[in-house]
Amino acid sequence: MMRKLSLLFAGALMGASAMSLVYGTPGSAANAAGSETYKQLAIFGDIFERVRAQYVTPPDDKSLVENAINGMLASLDPHSSYMNAEQAQDMRVQTKGEFGGLGIEVTMENDLVKVITPIDDTPAAKAGVLAGDYIAKIDGEEVRGLTLNDAVEKMRGLVNTPIKLTILRQGADKPIELTVVRDIIKVKAVKFRVENDIGYMKITSFTEKTYDDLESAIDTIKKQVPNDKLKGYVLDLRLNPGGLLDQAVSVSDAFLNRGEIVSTRGRDPKDVTRFDAKPKQVDDINGKPMIVLVNGGSASASEIVAGALQDLRRVTVVGTQSFGKGSVQTIIPLGENGALRLTTALYYTPSGKSIQGKGITPDIKVDQPLPPELQGRDLTRGESDLKGHIKGADESSTGSGSAAYVPPDPKDDLQLIYAEQLLRGQKTDPAFPPNPEKAVLNQ
């Protein structure tokens, strides 16, 4: 159980360091290296050859070069890195939001792959895989000894290819053998439901499909609850590690009818790009009240959304301090050699504030108590804790981040309960509802 929970938190941290992406190529040519730089490169070449020739065991040349490149990039900040061809492909799969696979959400528990849930209408669900099943073998190979990433990679593959799973199920007297044929799995970036008179929407990541999934969620909620009965919406960005910048802009735009959403500023002071909401009479939720939930697992693109809606006084932000990742990574393709992920800009909220190393401060702080098995552990996650992070313009000794924990059962979720009570008028606070006339804008 503890391993499962730790994976949840690690996922939030790893996502925050990898998923805020802008595709493209460098804006300008690199400066020509000086003679001193070439001398340093000559030293590197000499050391490389000595390692190859004299190290106690023959090293792998490819690994040496990749590690040298990553060492250089890691010295810049925690989010710049080199991706080999396989890693670059994995990144493209994550941001695209669809892949060839089985359709199950999994974690690692007791050295086996545990099924959290099979996704509806996917090969796994149709083959009879159930929540709580343990996958012991994949195509006859024992899962014990594999990492979760290794096991997931084995289950992904070409569409229409079969895979055999050996499953251990509570109540079954012997292992169950299932053959599943892979298909295109479209990962839902937005999960939603209706809580009587409130529409709840949780964005899990910002992939190419996030905005479309959000619009579908809004349309469905409107059909299920008459406009005069709908009290408002909760937008849950907790444990959201980020993703594509353009999707963060589109999601923000859905709830705005005016104003700047975010600006990015690069190395050159003149390299400033601003993204604005499209002018319209009413936003996509007809101006209904909305509360945004954040915590220490809310990073990057999710902070862009929370920061824009907060500064423009469109929403009230409830929860705890967000992660504080305010940098933009450009993905620079290197052909068959993979891709370079390089920090090329910092982003700023409409008020001109940098989130880097600071995060989004909620309008109403609501702490979420930890369950007994996690009490006594420091679960705070924040950009300011990362070694070598870029110091933000508004970063202070307080730093960024907070606990990254959300209870699996909504009845234990104090932050969500507080948000719903505000929307229903069962609780009051000066920060709700916000006044759009008091929007905080960069002058």
Instruction: Quick: pLDDT tens for 33-91.
Output: 678 888 899 999 999 999 999 999 999 999 999 999 999 999 999 999 999 988 888 88
Segment among 60-74, 151-165, 261-275, 368-382 with least mean pLDDT: 368-382
| Model confidence at 267: pLDDT above 60 | yes
β-bridge mates for residue 83, sequence order: 339
Tokens of 137: 């073998």
**Host H or E run for residue 165:** strand 162-168
Does residue 433 have a cis bond before it (omega within 30 degrees)? yes
Q: What is the pLDDT of residue 272?
A: 93
Rounded Cα–Cα distance for residues 154 and 42 (Å): 41
325 is catalytic: yes
What letter represents residue 296's amino acid? Answer: G
Pairing of the two strands 183-186 and 232-236: unpaired
Q: What is the pLDDT of residues 396-422, one digit of tens each?
A: 999 999 999 999 899 999 999 999 999
Average pLDDT for 95-121: 85
Of the ranges 69-73, 101-105, 197-201, which is most confident?
A: 197-201
Radius of gyration in angstroms for the set of CA atoms belonging to the chain, rounded to a whole number: 24
Average pLDDT over residues 181-196: 91
Q: pLDDT band at 96, cuts 50/70/90?
A: confident
CA distance 255 to 249: 10
Proportion of the chain above pLDDT 90, given as a percent = 70
Calpha distance 372→402 (Å, rounded): 18
Q: pLDDT at position 206, please?
A: 94
In this predicted structure, the answer to whether residue 8 has a pLDDT above a threshold of 70 is: no
Exposed/middle/buried for residue 143 (C-beta within 10 Å: 0-12, 13-18, 19+): buried
Q: Shortest CA distance to 306 belongs to which of 297, 315, 100?
A: 315
Identify the active-site residue in 80, 252, 263, 300. 300
Q: 10 falls in which pLDDT band (50, 70, 90)?
A: very low
Whole-number Å distance between alpha carbons of 350 and 291? 18
Mean pLDDT of 205-217: 95
Rounded to 10 degrees, what is the CA torsion of 90, 96, 100, 105?
80
**Confidence grade of residue 147 (pLDDT, cut at 50, 70, 90):** confident
Catalytic one among 183, 253, 311, 363? 311
- Please state the rounded mean pLDDT for residues 323-342: 93
Instruction: Please state, rounded to an integer, the average pLDDT across all residues of the chain.
Output: 89
| Confidence at residue 28, expressed as pLDDT on a 0 to 100 scale | 43
Q: At what angle do helices 301-311 and 245-254 cross, to 10 degrees?
A: 30
- The neighbouring-strand residues paired with 54 are none
Q: So what's the pLDDT on residue 24? A: 42
Distance CA 371, CA 202 (A): 22
Please give the angle made by the CA atoms of 405, 244 and 5, to the nearest 5 degrees.
20
Residue 16: pLDDT band (50, 70, 90) is very low
Q: 103-112, 209-218, 228-237: lowest mean pLDDT where?
A: 103-112
Q: How far is CA 252 from the centre of its chain?
A: 16
Question: With pLDDT > 70 as the criterion, what percentage of the chain qualifies?
Answer: 92
381 pLDDT higher than 90: no
Given this model, what pLDDT does residue 4 score? 32
202, 325, 353, 358: which is the annotated catalytic residue?
325
Per-residue pLDDT at 269 exceeds 90: no
- Mean pLDDT, to the nearest integer, of 200-219? 96
Please say whether the beta carbons of 355 and 432 come within 8 A: no
- Cβ atoms of residues 208 and 190 within 8 Å: no
Q: Does the pLDDT value for residue 347 go beyond 70?
A: yes
